[in-house]
A and B are shown apart, each in its own frame.
Chain A
Amino acid sequence: MMANRIPIREGVFMESPDGGTLLANKCKSCGQIFFPKAVLCLSCFNEDMEELKLSRMGKLYSYTIGYMPSMHFEPPYAIGYVDMPEGVKIFAQLKMTTDKPFKIGMDMEVVIEKLWQEDDSEIIGYKFKPV
């Protein structure tokens, strides 16, 4: 039987054949961008927001490797912030590679994949991996 795939949050990412994109929103009045989407502009309180597809690549702002379990992840796992060209900092799991150790400023690309298992459902979300 196919496992249920449940997104970690609605409307936060879009899957496509080339990988996937994160979905932010932007205030039509002052231009402030929010990820995850904000219900109304948190800067000017305007309620007229438009969806914005974020770039697929950003730069690693900072990271750490966890050696004790977090809520859903067994160690070792990497987490960090990625600076997106749109001016938002995104917190996410980072995919560890053997040949590309993390370095502040390195290029990172978004991937959409399973985050963790919950009973017979897969919780799907976003991670970043070194380019």
Chain B
Amino acid sequence: MREVAVIGVGQSTFGKFPQRSAVELGREAVIAALKDAGVKPKDIQVAYTSRLYDIGTMAQSILKEVGIACIEMINVENACAGGATAFRGVWKDIATGLYDIGIAIGVESMTTSPIARKLIPPAKDDLEGQLGLTMPGIFAILARRQMEQYGATVEDFAMISVKNHHHGCLNPFAQYRKEFTVEEILNSRMICDPITLLQCCPNTDGAAVAILCSSKIARKYTSKPIKVIGSALLSGDYRYHQEDITISPLGSKTAKMAYEMAGVGPEDIDLVELHDAFANEEMLRYEELGLCKPGEGVRLVRDRSTWVGGKIPVNPSGGLLALGHPLSASGVRNIAEIVWHLRGQAGERQTPNAKVGLAHMLGGAVAGLEAGACGIHILAR
């Protein structure tokens, strides 16, 4: 396996843009990434694109806008983990020596999708979806167990949203750039008890792109190549193996694989971007990723270690909660955020002297499984 580096990243602004097509959003992010990488359209050899709602040869449709055609293109889907899947696809093709330079695109237009302004359901034929399960429903059920088992309170959940909205104020790309108090979070509209509106990620449109190449040629393009030192993608195990739904074997197994491949441990990670579609889950991810011991997620929320400026910033971008969550884009967008920090380009959100960062993404609800997919990437300068 060859070493692979990220040489360019880009994202569109995130927000509600029903007048803008997914192709337009994708094009904006692709142009930004090509400029950032200093790569010409004809240099790109392979492309992976992910979109969930409304599929149909997205890679081709977006890349033709910028002069890229007639190369290998693959369109992938893995619910919210689609972007991470697309990134890993490019990584794999370069690491295995098939190609030297590739582009990963994640794009979603939520406001023009069939689920705009609705709760995200599982697939149409999914038994639990038919019986009333939705994404907020699963996480609300989880929240109640967190309160029962770990003494987590709704104020703890709200604090995570307060933190990520504060970070959103520092991010020019963010959909929400407004500070909120715990009270305002808890008094927002109830979605699935105890999860209120401001504890949920919004409907967001946006795209994010990463350009990767073999480390050997990275210096041709940039003085700051960011190495992909860990990549792992796993699918959920059977629910019947899961005694305790707050403990995700999927999350910890994927993390273990990524850490082992990278040759680092949680103590080496300087910042984390993770799946915070619902505020309460963020503290569970702290434990799965080994940022704290099992059961200590609540403590890490309360001691503010995961704020920008804290010991281990989590979601300095504003996360899915404040920056927004265009489903298939998020898995590429959060890798882009890590890259910016590692290059010292994260502006007011910058993690001082960041050397190693971890991007985690989770996606999908499937009846009988603990979750759909988890993708983790570890990057280093």
Task: Give me the interface of A with B, judged by CB distance under 8 Å.
Answer: 8-9, 32, 34, 36, 42, 61-73, 77, 79-81, 88-89, 91-93, 104, 115, 125
Specify the chain A residue showing the minimal Cβ separation from B128: A91
State whether A79 and B132 are in contact (beta carbons under 8 Å apart), knowing that A32-B240, A89-B239 are contacts in the complex.
Answer: yes
Distance, CA A108 to CA B143, complexed state (A): 20
Give the distance to chain B from A101, nearest Cβ to Cβ, in Å: 11
Number of interface residues of B (CB under 8 A): 33
For the complex, would chain B's binding face be called helix, strand, loop or mixed by DSSP majority?
Answer: mixed
Question: Taking each of A9, A36, A66, A72, which has the highest tally of chain B beta carbons within 10 Å of its own beta carbon?
Answer: A66
Distance, CA A32 to CA B240, complexed state (A): 9
Are A70's CB and B240's CB within 8 A?
Answer: no
Are A64's CB and B240's CB within 8 A?
Answer: no
Note all chain A residues with C-beta closer than 8 A to B128. 91
Are A70's CB and B144's CB within 8 A?
Answer: no
Are A63's CB and B141's CB within 8 A?
Answer: yes
Distance, CA A115 to CA B119, complexed state (A): 19
Q: Report 5 cross-chain contacts, Cβ distance below 8 Å, ordered by A residue.
A: A62-B148, A67-B190, A68-B191, A89-B239, A91-B131
Are B137's CB and A92's CB within 8 A?
Answer: no
Note all chain B residues with C-beta closer than 8 A to A81. 141, 245
Contact among A34, A62, A65 with B240 in the assembled complex (CB-CB below 8 Å): A34
Note all chain B residues with C-beta closer than 8 A to A62. 141-142, 144-145, 148, 245
Q: Could you list 7 further interchain pairs (A-B, Cβ under 8 angstroms) beyond the known A36-B127, A64-B192, A66-B136?
A: A64-B144, A66-B191, A67-B191, A71-B129, A71-B130, A71-B132, A79-B137
Distance, CA A124 to CA B299, complexed state (A): 45
Are B132's CB and A73's CB within 8 A?
Answer: yes
Specify the chain B residue showing the minimal Cβ separation from A94: B132
Are A8's CB and B127's CB within 8 A?
Answer: yes
Note all chain B residues with C-beta closer than 8 A to A36. 127
Are A67's CB and B192's CB within 8 A?
Answer: yes
Are B193's CB and A67's CB within 8 A?
Answer: yes
Q: B238 in the interface, Cβ–Cβ < 8 Å?
A: yes
Distance, CA A115 to CA B129, complexed state (A): 13
Are B133's CB and A79's CB within 8 A?
Answer: yes
Give the distance to chain B from A103, nearest Cβ to Cβ, in Å: 10
State whether A79 and B141 are in contact (beta carbons under 8 Å apart), knowing that A70-B134, A71-B132, A115-B131 are contacts in the complex.
Answer: yes
Specify the chain A residue showing the minimal Cβ separation from B368: A36
Q: B118 in the interface, Cβ–Cβ < 8 Å?
A: yes
Q: B279 in the interface, Cβ–Cβ < 8 Å?
A: no
Give the 10 A-B residue pairs with the shortest CB-CB distance, closest first: A64-B140, A79-B132, A65-B193, A70-B132, A62-B141, A64-B192, A62-B144, A66-B192, A91-B128, A73-B132
Are A66's CB and B245's CB within 8 A?
Answer: no
Note all chain A residues with C-beta closer than 8 A to B240. 32, 34, 42, 88-89
Q: B367 in the interface, Cβ–Cβ < 8 Å?
A: yes
Q: B121 in the interface, Cβ–Cβ < 8 Å?
A: yes
State whether A93 and B141 are in contact (beta carbons under 8 Å apart), knowing that A67-B190, A70-B119 are contacts in the complex.
Answer: no
Question: Taking each of A9, A64, A65, A93, which has the highest tally of chain B beta carbons within 10 Å of its own beta carbon?
Answer: A64
